[in-house]
Amino acid sequence: MTPSQTVFTHEFDAPSYKGTTHVNTGLFINNEWVQPLKGETIDLVNPTTGKFITKASIGTSEDVDIAVKAAHTAFKTTWGLNCPGAVRSRLLYKLADLMEQNIDELIALECLTVALVKGALVDFTLGMVRYYAGLADKVEGRTIETNAAKFAYTLRQPVGVVGQIIPWNAPLLFVAAKLAPALACGCTVVLKPSELTPLSALRVCDLIKEAGFPPGAFNVVVGYGNTVGSALTHHPDVRKVSFVGSLAVGREVTKAAADSNLKKVTLELGGKSPNIIFDDANLDQALKWTESGIFSNAGQMCTAGSRVFVQEGIYDKFIEAFTAAAKTRKLGDPLYPDTVQGPQVSQTQFDRVMRYIDIGKQEGATIVTGGQRHGTEGFFVQPTIFTNTSSSMRIVREEIFGPVAVVIKFKTVEDAIELANDTSYGLASAIFTQNLGTAIKVSNALEAGTVFVNCYNWIEWALPSAGFKESGWGSTSGKEAFDAYMETKAVHMNIGLQI
C-alpha cells in the first residue's frame, strides 16, 4: 500500500484549547499510515458551523483484508500468547499517560466533528484505559479436582483478531472502551470509527505507536458500514465483533457473524430509557440529573433518559421547573466553557430529529418548550419537551437520538414499572426517590441493564454496561467486557499413566 502523507492541520484558538493539531487522515495499518487502495475520501463537516473541515480517507473490503492480515500476524507473533500480561499492562498504562498529556487536543478534535461538550468524558476515557491496564496481568484459570489420576485445569486465552465498530456520538470514549479490554487480554484489533467523526480515533493511532505497541496490534480503517463494517463482520479471520450502533445495523452484524464463521458478537444498540421520578424525590436533584440525562450531547446517547415518568403529586411542579431549565440551556460551540449543549452531528441527524418533532405534533402531543431550530448555522435543535403523549405514539416508542423528552404522568409504583417496561429496549433506566424500599423494588423490576438511583448517566468503568431485550448482548465495560474477549480452555492431564 502507498504511504499516506495526508495530514490535517488545524489551529485552535478557543478558551478550552489553544494550539495546532496535526492528524494523519489515512488508514493506520501495521503501525504505518497508508492510503486506501482505491484512494477514496469523504468530506468532514463541523456541525457547529455546517462548514467543511477536511477530507479523510475511506477504506474498502480490500483494505480490511490487509488490516486483518496484519492483526492476525501480530496475534501469532508479537502479541496474543507471545506477549506477557505485564507487558500488555505497561503499554496500556503508557498509552493512558500519552492520552492524558494530549487530552485537550483530543477533546478539541472531538468537538470539531462531534461537538461533544467535555463533561466527564476525560475521566471516563482515561480511567477506562487504566482500568483494563490493571487487569492485563491478572488473567487467571482454575484447577479443578476430578480424580487421583488426572490433573485438570482451565486456561483463559484471547479470542484472536477482533473487529470493533464504533459510532459517531462519542468516538474517543468508545475507542478507549473497545481497544483497552481487547488489547489487555491479548487480542489484536481492527477498528472502524464512524466516517463522520474519525479524527480523535486517528490521533490516538500515533499515540499507540509512540507507546510502543507492536505493528498490527491495533489498526484503524475508516469507512462506510456497508463496505468496511460488512467486511469486518464477514471476515473469516475475525473471531469476534464488538458493535455499538443502531438496532437495525445490529441485526445485520449478527446475521453476518452467523453466516461467516459464527464469530462472537457484543452489541450495544439503541435505547428508549425510562427515568422515573416519585413524589418523594428531591426535586432539585431529580431536575438536575433529568436535564443532563436527556439533553447532554444534544440527546445523542444510547442511554438518554428520553421517557420521563413523573408521579402525579409533583407532576405540575416538575413540568414547570423542567421547562424553565430547558429554556435557559446555553447552546453553542462546545470549545467554549459556558456551552452546555452542542448541535446534532450532521444535517442528516438534524433532519431526523426535526422529523420526529413533526411526528409528535401530528400525533397530538403538546410541545411545552423547544421544537425549533436554534440559530442560523450549524445543526442545533432546541431542547424540546413533549407532554400529553400516549404509549402508542412514535415519539414515545422509537429512539430519536436528539434533545427530545416526553414527560408522562403516573399514579402508583406498579404503574411506573409497567410503563417503564413497555418498550422493546432495555439499556438504561433511572429512579428518583428517597424511599429505600421503593428504590430496591423498582430496580429489581426494571428490564434494563443499568439502573441509576438518584442520578443519571453517572457511569463507572468498573461496572458492567449491558443491554436487555433489543438493546444488545454483552457488556461494554467492567470485568465482563474483559472476559468477553477471551475463550476458556479445559485441560485434562493424565498423571496416573492410565491407558
Domain segments of the chain: what residues? 7-269+474-488, 274-460
* Confidence grade of residue 121 (pLDDT, cut at 50, 70, 90): confident
Domain 7-269+474-488 shares a fold with domain 274-460: no
Largest CA distance in the chain: 82
Contact call for residues 178 and 481 (beta carbons, < 8 A): no
Q: What is the pLDDT of residues 348-362, one digit of tens each?
A: 999 999 999 999 999
List Cβ<8 Å contacts ≥24 apart for 149-153: 149/494, 149/495, 149/496, 149/497, 149/498, 150/492, 150/493, 150/494, 150/495, 150/496, 151/493, 151/495, 152/490, 152/491, 152/492, 152/493, 153/490, 153/491, 153/493
Enumerate the active-site residues. 268
pLDDT at 343 over 90: yes
pTM: 0.95
* Confidence grade of residue 4 (pLDDT, cut at 50, 70, 90): confident
CATH superfamily for 274-460 is: Aldehyde Dehydrogenase; Chain A, domain 2 (3.40.309.10)
Number of H helices and E strands in the chain, helices first, is: 15, 22
β-strand partners of 369: 385
pLDDT at 1 over 80: no
Q: What is the pLDDT of residue 120?
A: 58
Q: What is the pLDDT of residues 275-303, one digit of tens each?
A: 999 999 999 999 999 999 999 999 999 99
Under CATH, which architecture does the 7-269+474-488 domain have?
3-Layer(aba) Sandwich (3.40)
β-strand partners of 366: 387
* Confidence grade of residue 63 (pLDDT, cut at 50, 70, 90): very high
Q: Which residues contact 150 (CB under 8 A, 6 or more apart)?
A: 492, 493, 494, 495, 496
Q: What is the pLDDT of residue 117?
A: 58
Per-residue cell: 182? 481487547
Q: Of 73-87, 148-162, 331-345, 371-385, which gets the smallest average pLDDT?
A: 331-345
Q: Of 1-10, 55-64, 244-253, 439-448, which gets the smallest average pLDDT?
A: 1-10
pLDDT at 116 over 80: no
